[in-house]
């Protein structure tokens, strides 16, 4: 019994002075029952997990929609007010329906995007947790990590007008010109409105969620800098532990990738000069910024099990600490971090020696990573066994950058997904780990590739996450996988599918019936699943396509259909994974083939174990078996290698007979478990060399545990037999030619070991004899190849291993085979008597392998479909050589160097089109149903939003336009115009504006670009806030400095305009503009009056039916609101969202119409 409720020996925790004391769990276990995510490259947790396991790098150039590199970048870190970084990781655009989330569309530009995206992700996480139906909303809280929002400095920017005006006046610019320039600058900032204040507050990130979903528990954000999200998690766990809440949404929200944050990190300095984040790498030189919105739904584990909630993982301990008086407020302190680690394990009740994955803070800065490793090594100690480091360490920042307030949440989601899917995830960009990681006494290794997380059942898989923030805030969380206790309603959450390919099937009576895939925007997995259910192996035409995405599917389908239409009766297959057959299905009998030693390779079966829980379970049960103190899985799935010497050592270790044979056995057993679940059963079986033992297991002769034990013992005996030097040689010739060469006996101790095909015979013998044969065949022009073996297998040289093997077999329970097993020695089925089976296994060691004869015998018995079950595809190739053009199919389930899903899907496609019945639903059983539409109302309006605030006015959307180039210095005045005199200061260049309403430069805001009610430009009463400012004509510069000359005298080529002429023109233009504005206001006020009348009529009508009114204002519904005059008042200002924010007053004044103000010095 190994679940969370299982009794366990009290663990020990390492104390600062090295003593150990037994501890018991102190924290209430907390279950993660829902997840939601929006991160670079991902719009949901499944996509996030695909990003992680796929090793995707989402750090890119700064998109022009965020900030212009040309404006702010300088490679010199010392350049003032510049950043030396131009890369980061950014959120993708998503469709946001403001009305669905109760946000008036007019308020979008005055609401920080963090608040909007948080609503979407909260919706995700609540849906994943099963929704709020039947939940007491009074005991549901929201605690999120968030800091100052991007909109805050933007809104404060408008308050800098006096600074701009002062600088322009000091530059010698006239008052009207200076104010006009200030107006143009202000036009690049969203104006203050009633909704601005709540829209820029960080705490309203949580408040909007509580408001929208009507949650009445705790509601706040917390700011602990880069540790904010784990600080929020600590509070959330406390709320649950104290019984103040039953469900808490927690996580982190950070969309702060504006240039201001880049400047902050540049001037520390902490950003990577090379533009990449490489945690725990020798090449690490700094971090890169990212952004993310990630949340969890948390419940007490006991409640989750009682309610039957799907559980992703269990939080066992949260450790917190402060650095106290450290060397610097922003410098990491290992002692403080170690304190948080110890406290986490004291809370959890187990020691760090059982933790096999640490998702570190890992920013990629030299000092930060070194300090963190110092703390981790102090607490984790040193490896006690002979198998080296036991704990993988990494950081998701290598893929999505440092997401600041959401950094801990991103790391936690990676750890939760790793535990849930039983996968050790990669950290990328580490070509050589730092020396602090690779030190001989280090318990850690950097995991650079996704690997199966094999774990025996002595305790659940365990992972830990760290997050540290400026100011000395330290947080460490330790989690474990959820194993439902027997006899409880507890259940694990569905897995997220990460397969890099899918199998899509088509069937019908004619080419026209093979309907084209209707993607409809759905993911490939959804199309594949539907096609499996619609496919019929009995249909006359059958097509299978293995595709990597929907575009790949469309292309391959179109090519295949073109071939089918030309020759519908001709079967074909392509190397790209397309299979087609027609007519009545005729798969014939099915035979399984199992490969022998030599087929093994490092990492074999890894992708399959990560894809299939059935395969993973086999490795957990048998791959964790230890031999000589080393678990088998660490030989097959070793920690990553970083040098060619390390790679060679891993290959050599696996090639050793005592490791290769049990490894091949477990890999084949995992594949067998997968195909059995699919309903694929053999009619007979055979193996090549060692593979014959696996064939005997498949036929029911011995169980899986006995097979692995026998494989190990047989390998040890064959290793010992290698004390007599021997070698093996593959000869590219047929049996007759090889036999003729060997007939004269001049080679010495040399025997045929394998008759593999008409084109290959393998010889075994002493090293000297093999060398002589090699030279002899070369002289006759026959190709040869030495095999990488340590002994002369299947020859009299290994016969001494027979007696000890027979003694071992006497201890192994055997039964007669349930189906035919074709033997290597005589190509005939095995006998049924167990003792005779033992004798055949023993003699098999030194007997030649008659594989060609075996395949011929199986074919004669009616086998037409051969399935290779094991490592590689060598036997598939041999079957093709043996049977040639005779009707048959040989399909391998595995190919080295390719993701396991591709050969598996290709094989299943081949079997399906041949008419072999398969239960393909089994492929989908562990996974969430792909492509299920969200149960949402149909969107009434959607807008594209990302990390950038909606409606920002600079830079322009997608960076479509650049600022105009600087104007040349103006020519000296001529004619009667007096020369202008300016103080000796720098004067900015600007383009003169025409007196007619001008076309502003493309980068400037216009009414058409602004998605909200327009705000005043320079021609409206922009100075109404200054009582002493009246509209001044060009000839009356009311605020011009006394020493400044008149600015109404403007020179044009060949003419000089007087002030009276210009003033008259401007007066006419101003009167026209004001009349137009008055007309617009009148129309707007008339429309608003009509809306008020309609609203009051509806209210009166509905009031007669109970006084309940549901008004929709700006997208948010108010139920039970009370009327006061012409306003609709909401339920107060809970969560800082008041009635005006929710809908606004219907009697609000109409916004003024923007019209450009002609500048006094503009020429006509």
How far is the C-alpha of 162 from the C-alpha of 1140, rounded, in Å? 30
**Rounded Cα distance, 409 and 461, in Å:** 20
| Packing angle of the helix pair 113-128, 204-212 (nearest 10 deg) | 50
Active-site residue 391, yes or no?
no
Question: 1027-1032: long-range contacts (C-beta < 8 A, 24 or more apart)?
Answer: 1031/1070, 1032/175, 1032/176
Give CA separation, 953 vs 2, 201, 895, 1033, in Å. 58, 20, 54, 30
680 Cβ contact list (under 8 Å, min separation 6): 590, 867, 911, 916, 918
Distances (CA, A) of 772 to 331, 742, 745, 768: 69, 11, 11, 6
**Catalytic entry in 154, 182, 277, 402:** 402
Q: How many residues does the chain have?
A: 1164
What does the DSSP assignment read for 1112-1158? EETTEEEES-EEETTEEE-S--GGG--HHHHT--TTPPPPPPP-PPP
Cα 871 to Cα 852: distance, rounded to the nearest angstrom: 19
Out of 72, 154, 182, 226, the active site residue is 226
CA 689/CA 1088 separation, integer angstroms: 88
Residue 756: φ, ψ to 5°: -85, -40
> What is the 8-class DSSP label of residue 1009?
G
The answer to whether the CB of 289 falls within 8 A of the CB of 257 is yes
Positive/negative CA dihedral, 479, 480, 483, 485: negative
- Give exposure, 143-163, as e/b (b: 16+ Cβ within 10 Å): bbbbbbbbbbebbeeeeebee
DSSP string for residues in 540-600: SEEEEEEESSHHHHHHHHHHHHHHHHH-TT--EE-TTSEEEEESS----EEEEEE--TT--
Active-site annotation holds for 361: yes
Contacts of 1114 (CB under 8 A, 6+ apart): 99, 103, 104, 105, 106, 107, 1142, 1143, 1144
Comparing CA positions, the residue from 329, 305, 211 lying closest to residue 4 is 305
Angle at CA of residue 903, ends 902 and 904, nearest 5°: 90
Name the residue among 633, 844, 657, 671 with its Cα closest to residue 754: 844
DSSP element (H, E) containing 736: helix 735-742
Residue 283 has phi, psi (to 5 degrees) of -90, 5
Cis before 636? omega within 30: no
How far apart CA 238 and CA 249 sit, in angstroms, is 13
The number of helices, as runs of H, and strands, as runs of E, in the chain is 34, 42
Catalytic residue among 361, 688, 888, 1017: 361
Are 4 and 304 a contacting pair, CB within 8 Å?
no
Residue 938, SS3 per DSSP: coil
In terms of DSSP bridges, do strands 502-508 and 589-594 run parallel, antiparallel, or are they unpaired?
unpaired
C-alpha distances out from residue 101 to 105, 109, 119, Å: 10, 15, 7
> Beta strands 473-481 and 462-469: pairing type?
antiparallel
CA distance 74 to 262: 12
Q: Let me know if 1017 is a catalytic residue.
A: no
Catalytic residues: 226, 361, 402
């Amino acid at each position: 019994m190994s679940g969370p409720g299982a009794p366990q020996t009290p663990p020990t925790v390492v104390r600062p002075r090295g003593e150990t004391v037994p501890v018991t769990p102190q924290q209430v276990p907390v279950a993660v029952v829902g997840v939601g995510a929006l991160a670079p490259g991902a719009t949901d947790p499944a996509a996030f997990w695909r990003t992680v396991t796929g090793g995707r790098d989402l750090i890119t150039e700064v998109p022009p929609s965020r900030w212009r590199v040309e404006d702010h970048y300088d490679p010199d870190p010392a350049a003032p007010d510049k950043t030396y970084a131009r890369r980061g990781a950014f959120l993708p655009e998503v469709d946001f329906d403001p009305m669905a989330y109760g946000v008036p569309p007019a308020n979008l530009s005055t609401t920080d995007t963090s608040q909007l995206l948080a609503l979407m992700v909260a919706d995700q996480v609540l849906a994943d947790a099963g929704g709020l139906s039947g939940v007491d909303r009074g005991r549901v809280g929201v605690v999120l990590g968030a800091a100052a929002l991007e909109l805050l400095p933007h809104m404060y920017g408008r308050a800098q007008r006096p600074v701009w005006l002062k600088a322009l006046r000091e530059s010698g610019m006239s008052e009207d010109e200076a104010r006009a320039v200030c107006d143009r600058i202000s036009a690049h900032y969203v104006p203050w409105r009633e909704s601005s204040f709540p829209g820029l507050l960080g705490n309203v990130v949580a408040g909007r969620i509580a408001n929208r979903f009507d949650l009445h528990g705790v509601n706040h954000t917390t700011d602990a800098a880069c540790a904010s999200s784990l600080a929020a998690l600590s509070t959330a766990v406390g709320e649950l532990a104290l019984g103040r809440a039953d469900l808490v949404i927690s996580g982190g929200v950070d969309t702060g990738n504006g240039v201001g944050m880049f400047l902050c990190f540049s001037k520390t300095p902490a950003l990577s000069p090379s533009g990449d984040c490489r945690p725990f790498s020798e090449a690490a030189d700094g971090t890169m910024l990212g952004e993310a919105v990630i949340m969890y739904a948390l419940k007490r584990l006991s409640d989750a099990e009682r309610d039957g909630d799907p559980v992703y993982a269990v939080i066992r301990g949260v450790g917190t600490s402060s650095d106290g008086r450290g060397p610097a407020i922003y410098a990491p302190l290992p002692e403080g971090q170690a304190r948080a680690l110890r406290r986490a394990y004291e809370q959890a009740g187990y020691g760090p020696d059982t933790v096999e994955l640490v998702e570190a803070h890992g920013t990629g800065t030299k000092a930060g990573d070194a300090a963190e490793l110092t703390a981790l090594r102090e607490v984790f100690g040193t490896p006690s066994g002979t198998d080296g480091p036991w704990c993988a360490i990494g950081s998701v920042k290598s893929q999505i950058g440092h997401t600041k307030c959401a950094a801990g949440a991103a790391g936690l989601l990676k750890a939760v997904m790793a535990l849930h899917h039983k996968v050790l995830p990669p950290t990328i960009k580490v070509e050589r780990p730092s020396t602090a990681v690779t030190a001989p006494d280090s318990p850690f290794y950097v995991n650079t590739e996704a690997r199966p997380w094999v774990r025996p059942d002595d305790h659940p898989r365990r992972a830990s996450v760290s997050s540290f923030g400026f100011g000395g805030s330290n947080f460490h969380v330790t989690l474990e996988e959820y194993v439902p206790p027997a006899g409880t309603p507890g259940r694990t959450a569905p897995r997220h599918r990460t397969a890099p390919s899918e199998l899509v099937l088509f069937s019908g009576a004619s080419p026209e019936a093979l309907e084209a895939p209707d993607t409809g925007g759905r993911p490939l997995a959804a199309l594949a699943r539907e096609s499996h259910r619609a496919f019929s192996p009995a249909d006359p035409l059958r097509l299978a396509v293995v595709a990597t995405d929907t575009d790949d599917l469309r292309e391959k389908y179109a090519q295949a259909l073109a071939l089918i239409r030309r020759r519908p009766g001709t079967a074909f297959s392509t190397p790209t994974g397309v299979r087609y057959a027609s007519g009545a299905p005729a798969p014939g009998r099915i035979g399984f083939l199992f490969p022998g030693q030599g087929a093994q390779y490092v990492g074999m079966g890894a992708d399959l174990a990560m894809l299939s829980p059935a395969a993973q379970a086999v490795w957990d049960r048998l791959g964790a078996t230890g031999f000589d103190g080393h678990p088998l899985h660490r030989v097959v799935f070793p920690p990553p290698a970083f040098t060619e010497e390390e790679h060679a050592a891993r290959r050599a270790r696996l090639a050793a007979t005592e490791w290769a044979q049990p490894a091949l056995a477990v890999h084949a057993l995992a594949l067998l478990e997968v195909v059995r679940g699919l309903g694929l059963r053999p009619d007979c079986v055979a193996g090549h060399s060692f593979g014959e033992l696996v064939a005997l297991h498949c036929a029911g002769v011995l169980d899986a545990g006995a097979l692995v034990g026998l494989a190990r013992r047989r390998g040890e005996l064959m290793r010992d037999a290698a004390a007599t030097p021997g070698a093996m040689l593959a000869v590219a010739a047929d049996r007759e030619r090889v036999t003729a060469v060997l007939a004269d006996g001049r080679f010495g101790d040399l025997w045929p070991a394998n008759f593999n095909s008409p084109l290959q015979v393998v010889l075994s013998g002493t090293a000297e004899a093999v060398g002589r044969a090699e030279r002899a065949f070369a002289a006759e022009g026959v190709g040869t190849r030495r095999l990488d073996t340590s002994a002369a297998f299947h020859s009299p040289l290994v016969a001494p291993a027979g007696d000890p093997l027979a003694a071992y077999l006497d201890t192994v329970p055997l039964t007669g085979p349930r189906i035919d097993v074709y033997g290597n020695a005589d190509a005939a089925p095995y006998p049924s008597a167990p003792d005779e089976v033992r004798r055949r296994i023993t003699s098999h060691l030194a007997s030649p392998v008659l594989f060609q004869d075996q395949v011929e015998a199986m074919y004669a018995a009616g086998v037409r479909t051969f399935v290779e079950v094991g490592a590689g595809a060598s036997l598939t190739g041999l079957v093709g050589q043996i049977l040639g053009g005779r009707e048959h199919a040989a399909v391998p389930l595995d190919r080295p160097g390719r993701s396991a899903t591709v050969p598996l899907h290709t094989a299943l496609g081949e079997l399906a089109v041949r008419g072999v019945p398969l239960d393909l639903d089994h492929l989908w059983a562990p996974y969430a149903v792909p492509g299920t539409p969200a149960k949402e109302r149909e969107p009434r309006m959607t807008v594209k939003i990302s990390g950038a605030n909606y409606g920002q006015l600079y830079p322009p959307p997608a960076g479509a336009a650049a600022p105009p180039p600087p104007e040349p210095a103006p020519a000296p005045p001529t004619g009667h115009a007096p020369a202008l005199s300016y103080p000796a200061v720098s004067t900015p260049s600007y383009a003169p504006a025409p007196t007619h309403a001008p076309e502003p430069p493309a980068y400037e805001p216009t009414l058409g670009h602004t998605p909200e009610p327009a705000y005043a430009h320079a021609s409206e009463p922009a100075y109404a806030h200054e009582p002493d400012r009246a509209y001044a004509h060009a000839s009356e510069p009311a605020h011009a400095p006394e020493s400044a000359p008149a600015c109404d005298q403007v020179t044009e080529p060949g003419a000089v305009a007087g002030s009276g002429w210009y003033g008259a023109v401007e007066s006419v233009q101003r009167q026209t503009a004001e009349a137009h504005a008055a007309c617009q206001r009148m129309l707007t006020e008339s429309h608003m009056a009509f809306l008020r009348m309609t609203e009051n009529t509806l209210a009166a009508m509905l009031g007669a039916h109970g006084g309940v009114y549901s008004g929709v204002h700006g997208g948010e519904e108010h139920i039970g609101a009370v009327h006061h005059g012409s306003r609709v008042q909401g339920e107060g200002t809970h969560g800082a969202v008041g009635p005006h924010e929710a809908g606004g007053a219907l009697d609000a004044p109409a916004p003024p119409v923007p019209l450009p103000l002609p500048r006094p010095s503009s020429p006509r």
